[in-house]
Structure formats: C-alpha cells, structure tokens
Structure 1
Amino acid sequence: MFYGKLIAGLLGLVLGGPIGLVLGVALGHLFDRGLSTTLQFGSPEQIARIKQNFFDTTFLLQGFLAKADGRISEEEIAHTEQVIQQMGLNAQQRRQAIELFRRGAAPDFQPEPVVAQFLELCRAQRQLQSTLLLFLVSLALADNKLDAAEREALGRIARLMGIGQAQLDQLLRMAQAQAHFHGHSGGTAEPGTSLDDAYAALGVDRDIGDKELKRAYRKLMSENHPDKLIARGVPDDMVKLATEKSQEIQSAYEMIRKHRGA
C-alpha cells in the first residue's frame, strides 16, 4: 500500500514545499498502514482464524464459568449440550467442543491469555466481543440463578474485554428478561411474564417514546442479524443461537406494541 503516501506527499509538496512533502509522506504512511490493517482483518484467511478462535474461546470460557461455583450443575451440562445440538456440530467438532469445555473447567485454567488472544484477533470489533459475552451470560443463567462466584467470573472476563460492570449488569438484565420469550412468537411469552420483562428484554424504560423504542428494537435486531455476525467472524453454526435471540427480542417488542395499541 502506497497510495496514501503518494497523494499526501504530493499535496504536502504543493502546499508546504519540501517540509510539507515530508509531513505528507508521514501522514500518508499512517493512512496506508491503517488501510492495510483493515483489509487484512477482512480477508478470508483472517475471518477463518477469527471464527475458529471464537469457537475455541466460547467453549473454553463456558467451562471456566460452569466450574466457577465449584461444581458443574446438570442444568449447565444440559445447556452446553443444547448449544452443541443447536449448532449442528459433527462428531469431530462435538469432541473438540467438549474437550475445550473440560480444559476451561480445569482448576488451573486462567482466562487471561485466552481472552487476550481473542482480543488480538478481533481487534476493534466491539460487537464481536459483546456477542461472545452474551453467549457466556446465557450459560451463566442456564440454571436460572447467578451466584457470587459466577458473577465474579463473568465480571473478570468482562473487565478483560474492557466492558464495565454497569454494561455487564445491563446485559444480565436483558438476558434474564429475554429468556421469558424463548420459544415464543407473536408477542407471547411464558406464563407470568410482565410488560416490565418486555421492556427489560429490550434494555429500555417503560416511559420511552415510540420512535426511541423502535430505534432500540432495530438496533438489537441489527446486532443479531446473521449476515452481520458472519461478516464479523462469528462461526456460521453459532449464528443459529443469535437467530433465536432475535426471535426473543421480536416477541418482547410485539408485546409492547400490542399494549400500546400499535
């Protein structure tokens, strides 16, 4: 890549003479380097590396979270098995996922190097980090409770990703509320689900305006859109899980719209 250095250098020469030429070439070099990095991130090879790393990181950290409270519950095992089934993994991939889960659950496992490698690969793709954290939150809530050890383990992972406690708490509230709409559609939900749950599932307050509500809904749907997730590096099989999340969000939104008479 040299177009940035060429163009900026010529502009610098015209506007500032020899000194402008030097400054222009320097600025152009920074532009070329940034462009090269962007193109490299989007290359098929890089996307393939990100997908494999996303897969590995997910199951390693799921094992770490499941063992955070000292034991792996039957609900957590069932949830992990459900994830594997939903992903449609073949026999080899299933063995790999289970082995990664076991490694993450080992007493001497440390999440820091795993998360550091993930961040190195995904770089500034913040949405990719949020998607991974959502998968982990889903596991932590598999047994319908979150004890102090699991919360601390989640907080530890979130901090490594540069995600603050307030944002993590918001994700937890949304995930807990969205679970009420799992497997439902058309604005229906589990018995006992309230309108407050629907608002919490979208991460908004009850007094939000109709336009702002629609904007929040569309943003969540966009973040979970299969094409966008695949382009960011989420493995194709894991996109199926995000599709279910979209259905939960849509059901919560439809419940609110029905209540508002839309």
Structure 2
Amino acid sequence: MFYGKLIGGIIGLLTLGPLGLIIGLFVGHLFDKGLWQTMKFASPQNIARIKDSFFETTFLLSGFVAKADGRISELEIAHTEAVFKQMGLSAEQRKRAIGLFQKGASVEFEPEPAVASFMVVSRGQRQLCQTLLFFLISLALADHEIDQTETAALQRIATLLGFNPSQLEQFLRMAQAQDHFHGSAGAGRQSGTSLEDAYTALGVTSDVDDKALKRAYRKLMSENHPDKLIAQGVPEDMVKLATERSQEIQAAYEMVKKARGL
C-alpha cells in the first residue's frame, strides 16, 4: 500500500520542494498505514471473528444480567426462548447459546474478561458496543421493569463498554419507552402509552424543534439499519432483533408526527 506516500510526496515536492517531499512522504505513510488497518479490520475474516465474539459475549452477559437478582425468572427464560426463535438459530447454535447463557449465569462468572476480549476483537466500535448493550437491556426488560440489581449489573457492563452512568440511564429510559411501542407500526402499543413516551423513545424531549426531531429519528434508524449492523459485525441472525427495535422507533415517531401535524 503506497498510494498515500506517492501522492503525498508529489504534492509536498511541488509545494515545498525537497523538504515538502519528506513531509509528504511521512504524511502519506501515515495515511497508507491507517487505510491498511481499516481494510484489515473490514476483511471478511475479521468480520467473521467479530460476529462470533458478538454472539458469544451477548449470551454470556445475558446470563449474567438475568441472574443478577439471584434467580432467572420465567419471563426471562421465555424472553430468551423467544429470542432464539426470532433469530432462527440452528440446533447447534441454540445449544451453544444455552451453554453460554448458563455459563454467564453461574456464580463464578465475571464479566470483565468476556467484555475485554470483545473490546479487543471489535476494537471497541461504539455502535457495536451500544447495540450489544441494548440487547442486554432488552433482556432485563423481559418483565417490563428493571430492578436495582439488574441496573447495577448493566452499569458494570456499560462501564466496561465505555459508557458512563448518565448514558446508561438515557438508554434505559429510551428502551423502556420503546417497549411501549412493541409491535409492527405500533400495532402492539400498550394501553396508556403517552406522547411523552414517544419523545423519550426517540431520545428527545417534547420541546425539541422539528428539525432536531427528524435528525434524532434518522440517527436511530441509521444505527439500527440491518446492512450497517452486519457490516460492523453483528451476526445476521441477531440483526432481526434490531429490526424489531426499528419498528418501535418508527411507531413512536409516527405518534409524535401525528401530534405535531407533520
């Protein structure tokens, strides 16, 4: 990979002479190095490693969060089974997921090594980390509420993933509000869902202007776009879960649009 050095050297030579040539070669070298690292990271082999790590880490931490309050509830078991079904896991994948879940739920499990390994493989991609965290929040919300022990477990994981307490608090509020819009196009919206819930689901407040509202909505939809998630290393089967979240975001946005007459 030498295109950066070639172009940088030529530009430097033409603008600053021999000294510019040296500077241009150096800058071009840095460009080539960065481009090469990016290409390596996006290689099919590396993306496959990220997908495997994402799958493993998700179910390990799912078990850890589910057991945080001392027991795994029937709702959490049912939710996990629903996730398996929604993902369309093969018998072998399902067996692996259950094994990872049980390992994460064991008394001796500590999340730090698992998250550290994931961060190395994924290079700590923020969107990938956020997607993983939202999957875990979704599990914690299986019974439509999150207790203090689950919140503490999620905070422990969030910190390891690079998110501070206030960010996790916002994610929790958004996820809980989005849960009110469960179902395609809001068809499964819970009774009593308010306009305030819709704003919270979008991560904004009711005083947001129309332009900022659309920007927030588009950002959330982009973050959960299947092609983008797959390119980052989210397993195809798990992208189906993000698609459902997109439907909840869409339903919340439609409610706000209707209220505003947009």
TM-score normalised to structure 1 length: 0.93
Task: Give the Cα separation in 1 of the matches to 2:158 and 2:56.
Answer: 17
Mapping for residues 51-62 of structure 1, pairs under 5 Å = 51-62=51-62
Q: CA deviation at 1:123?
A: 1.8
Decide whether the 8 Å contact of 2:186 with 2:248 is kept in 1.
no
The residue identity in structure 1 corresponding to 2:24 is G
SS at match of 1:142: helix
Runs of 4+ with >6 A deviation: none
Give the corresponding residue for 1:163. Answer: 163
Task: Give the Cα separation in 2 of the matches to 1:218 and 1:40.
Answer: 29
The reply on whether 1:229 has 2:229 as its aligned counterpart is: yes
Give the corresponding residue for 1:189. Answer: 189
**Matched residue count:** 262
Give the corresponding residue for 1:204. Answer: 204
Deviations 1:83-129 (A, max 9, x none): 11100001000000000111111112121121122112222521111
Classify 1:38/1:124 alpha carbon distance in 2 versus 1 (closer, same or farther; 3 Å).
farther
Q: CA RMSD in A?
A: 1.8
Q: CA deviation at 1:29?
A: 2.2
The reply on whether 1:5 has 2:17 as its aligned counterpart is: no
Any stretches of 5+ residues in structure 1 without a counterpart? none
Task: Give the Cα separation in 2 of the matches to 1:227 and 1:211.
Answer: 26
Decide whether the 8 Å contact of 1:66 with 1:140 is kept in 2.
yes
The residue identity in structure 1 corresponding to 2:45 is E
The reply on whether 1:148 has 2:148 as its aligned counterpart is: yes
Q: CA deviation at 1:184?
A: 4.6
SS at match of 2:64: helix
Deviations 1:43-79 (A, max 9, x none): 1111111111111110011011111122111111111
Q: CA deviation at 1:216?
A: 1.2
Q: CA deviation at 1:144?
A: 2.2
Deviations 1:120-162 (A, max 9, x none): 2222521111111100111111122222221111111111111
The residue identity in structure 2 corresponding to 1:168 is L
Give the corresponding residue for 2:247. Answer: 247
Q: CA deviation at 1:23?
A: 3.7
Task: Give the Cα separation in 1 of the matches to 2:124 and 2:139.
Answer: 25
The residue identity in structure 1 corresponding to 2:213 is L
Greater CA drift, 141-150 or 198-207: 141-150
Any stretches of 5+ residues in structure 2 without a counterpart? none
Give the corresponding residue for 1:95. Answer: 95
Task: Give the Cα separation in 1 of the matches to 2:12 and 2:254.
Answer: 56
The reply on whether 1:129 has 2:129 as its aligned counterpart is: yes
The residue identity in structure 1 corresponding to 2:110 is Q
Decide whether the 8 Å contact of 1:4 with 1:32 is kept in 2.
yes
